[in-house]
């Protein structure tokens, strides 16, 4: 089975904001592509797919959504999670690479 993320022709997510002090303003074809760039040990939050899904559900940039209970990690997340994920449907431009053989 092949991975389809790299060959995707349409951007699905526009991620913008601040993650652990780093400014992000990028378009992604999938959530997995975002995780490839910022997941695991690449940030202090140790992001994986399920953690990002929970954070998107519970948090706005730098503030918790109404109706969500308190957690012991709220101060850490409020300090480091300032991302917005906007759903988009934008065609990706094709990149043509020209190779000259000698």
Report pLDDT digits (tens) over 59-89: 999 999 988 889 899 999 999 999 999 999 9
Would you kindly state where each structural domain of the chain is located, as residue ranges? 11-91
Query: According to the model, what pLDDT value does residue 97 have?
Result: 78
Q: In whole angstroms, give the CA distance from residue 76 to residue 95.
A: 40
* Contact in structure between 59 and 51 (CB atoms under 8 Å): no
pLDDT of residue 15: 96
SS3 2: coil
The pTM is what? 0.79
3-state secondary structure of 39: strand
């Amino acid at each position: 089975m092949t991975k389809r993320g790299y060959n995707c022709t349409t951007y699905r997510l526009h991620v913008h904001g601040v993650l652990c002090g780093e400014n992000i303003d990028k378009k992604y074809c999938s959530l997995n592509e975002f995780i490839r760039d910022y997941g695991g040990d690449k940030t202090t939050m140790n992001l994986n797919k399920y953690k990002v899904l929970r954070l998107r559900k519970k948090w706005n940039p730098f503030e918790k959504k109404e109706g969500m209970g308190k957690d012991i990690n709220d101060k850490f997340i409020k300090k480091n999670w300032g991302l917005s994920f906007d759903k988009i449907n934008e065609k990706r431009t094709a990149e043509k690479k020209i190779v000259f053989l000698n």
